[in-house]
Amino acid sequence: MKTVSTFNNILIFNPAFLGDAVLTTPLIKAIKKLYPSASITFTTRPEYAELFTDIDIIDTILPFDKYGKFKGGFGTLKFAKILRKKKFDLIINLHRYIRSTLLLKLAKPKCLIGFKSASLSFLFDKSVYRDKEIHEVHRNLSILEGLTEEYSLASAIDLGGKVITRFDRTLFSKIKLYQSTISPNKKIIGLAIGSVWKTKRYPPEMFAKLASSLYLSNYTIVLFGSSVDKESYNEFFKYYKYPYVDYLYKIDIKDLSTFIASVDILVSNDSGPIHIASSTITTIIDIYGATVPQQGFYPYSDNSYIVENLSIPCRPCGAHGGNKCPKKHFKCMNDIDYNEIKAIIDKTGE
pLDDT digits (tens, 9 = 90+) for 175-193: 999 999 999 999 999 999 9
pLDDT band at 1 (very low <50, low <70, confident <90, very high): confident
Domain check: are 278 and 141 in the same one? no
Q: Over the chain, what is the mean pLDDT?
A: 96
d(CA 161, CA 164): 9
For residue 198, the model assigns a pLDDT of: 93
Helix (H) or strand (E) holding 72: helix 72-86
Query: Domain ends where: 112, 130, 160?
Result: 160
Tell me what the mean pLDDT of segment 287-305 comes to.
96
Residue range 68-73: mean pLDDT, rounded: 94
Task: Indicate the length of the chain as a whole number.
Answer: 350
Q: What are phi and psi of 10, to 5 degrees?
A: -120, 135
Q: Please check whether residues 340 and 277 belong to one and the same domain.
A: yes
Cα gap 91→100, rounded to integer Å: 11
Whether residue 216 sits in one domain with residue 116:
no
Query: Which of 108, 136, 160 is the C-terminal boundary of a domain?
Result: 160
Q: What average pLDDT does this structure show over 68-91? A: 97
Helix, strand, coil percentages in the chain from 3-state DSSP, rounded to 5: 40, 15, 45
First to last CA, the chain: 43
CA distances from 254 to 51, 55, 182, 197 (A): 4, 11, 24, 23
Say if residue 150 is in the same domain as residue 89: yes
**End position of a domain, from candidates 126, 160, 194:** 160
Same domain, 231 and 153: no
Give, in order, the Cα–Cα distances in Å from 118 to each of 96, 99, 129, 136: 4, 11, 10, 15
pLDDT at 26: 98
Q: List 11's β-bridge partners, or say none.
A: 41, 91
| Residue 92 CB contacts under 8 Å (≥ 6 apart), including other chains | 10, 11, 12, 13, 27, 31, 113, 114, 143
- Say if residues 163 and 18 touch (Cβ distance below 8 Å): no
Under a CB-based contact definition with an 8 Å cutoff, are residues 164 and 57 in contact? yes
What was the pLDDT predicted at 323?
87
pLDDT of residue 320: 79
The predicted structure's pLDDT at residue 319: 80
In this structure, the answer to whether residues 113 and 250 fall within a common structural domain is no
Task: State how far the Cα of 53 lies from the Cα of 124, in Å rounded to an integer.
Answer: 29
Look at the chain and report how many structural domains it folds into. Answer: 2
Give φ, ψ of 187 to 5 degrees.
-70, 140
3-state secondary structure of 230: helix
At 131, is the pLDDT very low, low, confident or very high (cuts 50, 70, 90)? very high
Entry pTM? 0.95
pLDDT (tens digit per residue) in 152-175: 999 999 999 999 999 999 999 999
DSSP assignment of 279-345: TSS-EEEEE-SSS-GGGTTS-SSSSEEEE---S-S----SSS--SS-TTSS-HHHHT--HHHHHHHH
pLDDT digit string (tens) for 189-219?
Answer: 999 999 989 999 999 999 999 999 999 999 9
Give the mean model confidence (pLDDT) for residues 100-120: 97
SS3 per-residue string spanning 138-184: HHHHHHHHHCEECCCHHHHHHHHCCCCCCCCHHHHHHHHHHHHHHCC
Is residue 192 domain-shared with residue 303, that is, in the same domain? Answer: yes
Residue 68 sits in the same domain as residue 151: yes
Any idea what DSSP says for residue 254? G
Query: What CATH number corresponds to the domain at position 210?
Result: 3.40.50.2000
- The per-residue pLDDT for 350 is 63
Domain range for residue 48? 2-160
- Rounded-to-integer distance, Cα 318 and Cα 240, Å: 31
Residues 100 and 243 both lie in one domain: no
Phi, psi of 97 (to 5 degrees): -110, 160
Task: Of 122-131, 292-301, 313-322, give the lowest mean pLDDT range.
Answer: 313-322
Report whether pLDDT(349) > 70: no
CA dist., res. 167 & res. 114, Å (int): 30
For the segment 225-274, what is each residue's pLDDT rounded down to a tens digit? 999 999 999 999 999 999 999 999 999 999 999 999 999 999 999 999 99
Residues 271 and 198 in one domain: yes
The mean pLDDT of 20-33, rounded to a whole number, is 98
Cβ-based burial of 89 (10 A; exposed 0-12, middle 13-18, buried ≥19):
middle
